[in-house]
A and B are shown apart, each in its own frame.
Chain A
Amino acid sequence: MASGPPPSAAERYRPNRFVSLPAELDPATYDTSPEKRRAEAERLAIRARLKRQYQLQLNNPNPPAVIEDPALIRWAYARTLNVYPTFRPTPKTSFLGLLFALGPLLFWGTVFKLDRDHKEKLIQEGKYERPFSVF
């Protein structure tokens, strides 16, 4: 009748958009195959090359005034100057643009207009009760 022992904390854990899976629970980080080892070695080689370039600039007897980080420049460029050239009107982008750019303007415009027209009608009929009135 019993359905076995309750699931352990490790089995209950599920990653999602907000939290990630720890390396201890991720089977992809367990026994590494030769391909994974080679991939790690290549990544290490790239890292070491970048570290060397950085350390050479850092320990230079005549160091430059500012050691620019090309990754930072690319990041800033991609987020600012590269958005418009790579933008393309597709059904998805047009729909989202309508929804988030035009939608709130039209929505709040109609809400305020209807509210003020209703208040004007009440004032004309003499039925409007002034809030915070001193009389």
Chain B
Amino acid sequence: SEMSKDLLPGPYPRTPEERAAAAKKYNMRVEDYEPYPDDGFGYGDYPKLPDKSLHERDPWYQWDQPDMRHNWGQPMHWDFDMYIRNRVDTSPTPVPWHIMRRHFLIFLSTMLIMFGLGGLYPSYRPVGPKQYPFNDLYLERGGDPNKEPPVVTHYEI
């Protein structure tokens, strides 16, 4: 792009003058400007904005770009493309997160434990051995048709 080097992001600001210049570059107040910590991760002097998704921005304000809820020149979050309205939503939930997490883990663990126990200790209705007709299928099992089949009784009276 044709922007001059001092308008593009640069290295981490070390002196207060560099901080003030960086804040002015990003259209922020010097007190609001907070760069990412200098851990060598590659952020440079990009400002660390609060991790709030676009769902939380006022839907009724007249933004310059209404679908992105973004004004011209407003500094964009590093993860702007994650926080758009189709994706991650950080707006406050009606039920607190730790309560939702607790309920979900209770349900999930109960179901998993019950399924695991059911797999380890299955229980069925009691069954006996199968009883076949025609003298225990004597002819079908290759018995001699000229001989008398052995009589098989499956009952006791």
Contacts and interface: CB of A to CB of B under 8 A. Distances in A.
Interface of A: 9, 12-22, 39, 42-43, 46-47, 50-51, 53-54, 67-75, 77-79, 82-90, 92-93
B52 A20 contact: yes
Of the candidates A16, A19, A92, the one having the most CB atoms from chain B within 10 angstroms of its own CB is: A19
B98 interface: yes
A85 B11 CA distance: 8
Nearest to B72: A54
Interface of B: 1, 3, 7-12, 25-29, 31-32, 39-44, 46, 50-52, 56, 64, 70-76, 78, 80, 90-93, 96-99
Nearest to A72: B76
Contact of B72 (A12, A71, A85): A71
A117 B30 CA distance: 62
A78 B3 CA distance: 13
Closest 9 CB pairs of A and B: A88-B40, A83-B42, A54-B72, A50-B73, A86-B44, A78-B9, A22-B92, A75-B76, A90-B40
Given A53-B73, A74-B25, 15 more contacts: A43-B29, A51-B64, A53-B72, A69-B72, A71-B26, A71-B70, A71-B73, A71-B74, A72-B76, A74-B75, A77-B1, A85-B44, A87-B40, A87-B41, A90-B40
